[in-house]
Structure 1
Amino acid sequence: MAATVENMILFLAARPVTAPPVRPIPRRRRARFRPPARLRPLAPYRRIFAVPGTRAFTAANLLARLPMGMLSISAVLMIAGSRGSYALAGAVTATGLAATALAGPWTARLIDRYGQSRIAVPATALATLGSLSLLLCVHYGAPDWTLFASYAATATTPNTGGMSRARWAHLFRDDPAARHTANSFEQAADELCFLLGPLLATLLCTTLFPEAGTAVAAALLLTGVLLFAAQRRTEPPAAARTGGHTPTRSPLRLPGLPPLLLTFLCTGAIFGSLEVVTLAYADAHGIRSAGGALLALQAAGSGAAGLLYGLLRPTARPGRRFVRCLAAMASLMLLPLVAASTGSPAALAAALLLAGMATAPTMVTGMGLVQSRTPPGQLNEGMTLAVTALLAGIAAGSASGGWAVDHLPGPGAAYGVPAAAAALALTITLLTGRRRPHRP
């Protein structure tokens, strides 16, 4: 037995010692670095536009929305250039504004009830015919009353921005953060259209012929709405097709909405008075051609703030955020008043840029409140009422700003009108917010 063990040991010892085979370590694929969401500033916007169909309806809506900043100034330049009367041009556009305030909510109610594609196209076609009628009446020297009748026919123009916001609200009805980002983008788009629209209209009317602005605006409006209506898969369902009860109660009777519309009225007064006062200030300082550029700075500040606001994740309740935004706007609207008193156009330009930065966040939050306080079947009508309140405020603000320019000592003092309108908007919100419980 011992010999056997000894032979086994000698046998094992005589075997050559070899290392075990080394298996190659599989090479791992290098993981692709993806920065966290907080380091990707445009992630919220990429997220909303990743939904199929959103890019198509947004591009079409921007094309349809651009004429909103062109039609009014094109009509003024066309009528004043042909008839030699800014008073007549202002009266015609004011008539169209009043007609829009009356017809706009009814058009929006039909859109809610029967659908965007079914109502928006014929309504836009009628408005386009009104613009073309105005163009022909001016060109061929028709009586003045035909100008009023023609421009009043453009009141059926649908609220293109409201229809786009309604689609976002439908797509992200269960995602408040995405709705906030979408509303911020829409407000920035509004600012862009009202920034580029007047510049394009002025360029067309002054370099080509007086009717060019109206003709191009009408063509863009009709083309954009046709393309927008063709995007059916993102269209919210009409109240008449959902099988539910079609609401007949006006949103004006909904709790919480009338005070909000009154705030929008004051906000519109800020915009209207700021435009008139700024143009008068530029004219008084011998830089009349720079008046549009000064107003463009205010719109640029608002648009940039709107995009940045969309990147933030809201924490406070919408009602509280709205009060904070109004407080910021009331504070920043004092800057143009202070800057104008120095007599420096450069200081005023910087003040308008800063003052505009509170506009978009205020409008985004306010439109969000309108959406939350309006039933889904009346969303277009509710937002159109908000736009109507803004238009009425713009008209009142323009009149108040013009009166202040003529009666106050120096155009700089007239900047007290937009500052007072901002303070009034904040006061109304504070008073009405205490009377009723908060609704997000």
Structure 2
Amino acid sequence: MLANYRRLFAVPHVMSLLAWSLIARFHTPGLMIAVTFLVQGWTGSYTLAGLVAGSFTLGMALVGPLRGRMADRGGGDRLVLVCGVVFTVGLTTLALLPASLWWLSIPLALGTGLFGTPANQIVRALWPRLTRGPERQAIYAAEATTQELLFVFSPILTAAVVAMAGPRYALLMLGLLGLAGAVGFALALRRAGVTGPASVEHATSDGPGTDETTAARKVRRRSLLASPALCLVFVMCLLIVSGVVGMDLVIVAWANELNAPQYVMVLASVWALGSLVGGAVAGGLKGAPRLPLRAFGAAAGIALLVPFVPPINHLPTPLLITPLLFVSGLALAPTLAAVMGRLGDTAPSHRRAEAFGWMATAMSTGGAVAGPLTGALVDSNGIAGGVLGAVGLVTLAAVLTLFLRRPPVGEEGSPVEEAPVDRPEVGPPSPAGNGAPTDEPSPAGPTGTAGSPLRPCDP
């Protein structure tokens, strides 16, 4: 099972890019905690605190595709640095804002959110350029798995700083971590030699006589939302994240009803631990991931919890449900990894960062939708109603996977001709053979997309 990971981490720069991209977005899960404590302390209102926190999310969602398009054109290192500096300045300004001027926190949060780190979409767009076949599936699984660590440790660290020094210092800490991560990730991009635009694959698909530059320009003018396959993936991301965030809110509501907030970290950590284990195992499996199987598994795992939550069942303590929570989380990271892998395979090579930007927007929208929807279900039907809502959302995402055509066999691996174009001046070994050229001849025409579901956007 570890063979995929051994091959993966032998690829130059993969470990550095993954680690620094995680550090660059470490602040994201803890940001809402610090902002909520800060604004609630100013105003005494959780509604206003939620409004400010939502402004951050809205700002990040608005610019995801735009930042992806900028990264696709090259200069991703500069983009990360600029966003890191401006975001840190925005958090610092918010932390130093007088309580009497709390209303300025709303536009400030929106403007700061516009410069949220693009590290996630940039690094996910890079994996098909650096890896292929089993290694690509392993890196998406590794990223989805290690990302769970952010949702465990970032809130814990933020809450600890809030408790010891106050929310202002927590915001300052998160800003400094974001800046350090941005600098480290930008340097990692430069060392890997992947700051330039990706090569345009299959630019002659319109016919043997089509001019490559003309074909590429036509594709760049076409919206990615014109692709039914990509739109399905984006909607799936929105639904899955809505379900996952809804379950997080259900856990908080359950602990709040029992007047025992300490249960939140225990239950949420066990759920994340299940996802960690599932993702680690999935990354070591051979063969292409079966997305429908993983998605229906994630939905079934959440449905498993329904008979054991109030008002259907009143357990003596919520801790009794922790084994089921662990099982429930097993399919989450594998499902997200498979979705990211499918998006990387489906999106045009020179617009992958933009595609992952739309994915980030879909995820942010899903998180924003989950709050009021889950709250209404819990208010009207209790904790079980919230869990059923999460089950419905993830199940709907699973149903949509049935409408995605599986990529042909030749599409499982990333096009290896891309890497030498991206890194000619650095000269690290190619991911296909640890420094040796591939034995496969270069394709003369379209390679592996003849049966692809991506028609409108295929260059």
Residue aligning to 2:123: 164
Match status 1:402 vs 2:375: yes
Match status 1:301 vs 2:274: yes
Render the CA deviation track for 1:252-279: whole Å, top value 9, x for unaligned: 2234100111111111110221111111
Match of 1:337 among 303, 306, 311: 306
Q: 1:125 to 1:201 in 2, by over 3 A?
A: same
**Separation in structure 2 between the aligned mates of residue 150 and residue 407 of structure 1, nearest angstrom:** 35
**One-letter identity of the residue aligned with 2:222:** R
**Separation in structure 1 between the aligned mates of residue 376 and residue 51 of structure 2, nearest angstrom:** 16
> Once the 2 structures are TM-superposed, how far is the Cα of residue 69 of structure 1 from its aligned partner?
1.4
Residue aligning to 2:433: none
Match of 1:292 among 259, 262, 265: 265
CA contact (8 A) 1:404 1:417 kept: yes
> What are the within-5 Å matches in structure 2 for residues 219-234 of structure 1?
219-231=176-188, 232-234=190-192
Residue aligning to 1:428: 400
CA contact (8 A) 1:70 1:197 kept: yes
> Once the 2 structures are TM-superposed, how far is the Cα of residue 424 of structure 1 from its aligned partner?
1.5
Render the CA deviation track for 1:149-169: whole Å, top value 9, x for unaligned: 111122221332222223322
> Once the 2 structures are TM-superposed, how far is the Cα of residue 433 of structure 1 from its aligned partner?
5.7
**Separation in structure 2 between the aligned mates of residue 47 and residue 191 of structure 1, nearest angstrom:** 23
Residue aligning to 2:343: 370
Which of structures 1 and 2 has the larger relative contact order (alpha carbons within 8 angstroms, sep 6+)? Answer: 2
**One-letter identity of the residue aligned with 2:308:** A
Match of 1:100 among 60, 80, 85: 60
Match of 1:184 among 113, 127, 141: 141
Structure with max Cα Rg: 1
CA contact (8 A) 2:55 2:109 kept: yes
Q: 1:96 to 1:347 in 2, by over 3 A?
A: same
CA contact (8 A) 1:271 1:418 kept: yes
Structure 1: unaligned runs, 5 residues or longer: 1-40
CA contact (8 A) 2:267 2:319 kept: no
Residue aligning to 1:269: 242
Q: Which has the higher helix share?
A: 1
Residue aligning to 1:9: none
Question: Normalized against structure 2, the TM-score is what?
Answer: 0.80
CA contact (8 A) 2:66 2:357 kept: no
> Once the 2 structures are TM-superposed, how far is the Cα of residue 329 of structure 1 from its aligned partner?
1.2
Residue aligning to 2:222: 249
Question: Normalized against structure 1, the TM-score is what?
Answer: 0.83
**Separation in structure 1 between the aligned mates of residue 52 and residue 300 of structure 2, nearest angstrom:** 35
> What are the within-5 Å matches in structure 2 for residues 24-423 of structure 1?
41-137=1-97, 140-154=98-112, 155-172=114-131, 175-231=132-188, 232-239=190-197, 245=216, 247-315=220-288, 321-340=290-309, 341-344=312-315, 345-408=318-381, 410-423=382-395
> Once the 2 structures are TM-superposed, how far is the Cα of residue 302 of structure 1 from its aligned partner?
0.8
**Percent of pairs with identical residues:** 26
**Separation in structure 2 between the aligned mates of residue 110 and residue 202 of structure 1, nearest angstrom:** 35
Structure 2: unaligned runs, 5 residues or longer: 201-211, 407-450, 455-459
**One-letter identity of the residue aligned with 1:342:** N
Render the CA deviation track for 1:180-227: whole Å, top value 9, x for unaligned: 111111101211111111111111111122212211111111111111
- 1:114 counterpart SS class: coil
CA contact (8 A) 2:35 2:53 kept: yes
**Separation in structure 2 between the aligned mates of residue 54 and residue 368 of structure 1, nearest angstrom:** 16
**Separation in structure 1 between the aligned mates of residue 276 and residue 357 of structure 2, nearest angstrom:** 21
Q: 1:241 to 1:156 in 2, by over 3 A?
A: farther
**Separation in structure 2 between the aligned mates of residue 333 and residue 249 of structure 1, nearest angstrom:** 38
Residue aligning to 1:17: none
CA contact (8 A) 2:267 2:325 kept: yes
- 1:426 counterpart SS class: helix
Q: 1:241 to 1:304 in 2, by over 3 A?
A: closer
**Separation in structure 1 between the aligned mates of residue 395 and residue 283 of structure 2, nearest angstrom:** 25
**Separation in structure 1 between the aligned mates of residue 223 and residue 321 of structure 2, nearest angstrom:** 43
**Separation in structure 1 between the aligned mates of residue 4 and residue 401 of structure 2, nearest angstrom:** 30
**Separation in structure 2 between the aligned mates of residue 148 and residue 268 of structure 1, nearest angstrom:** 24
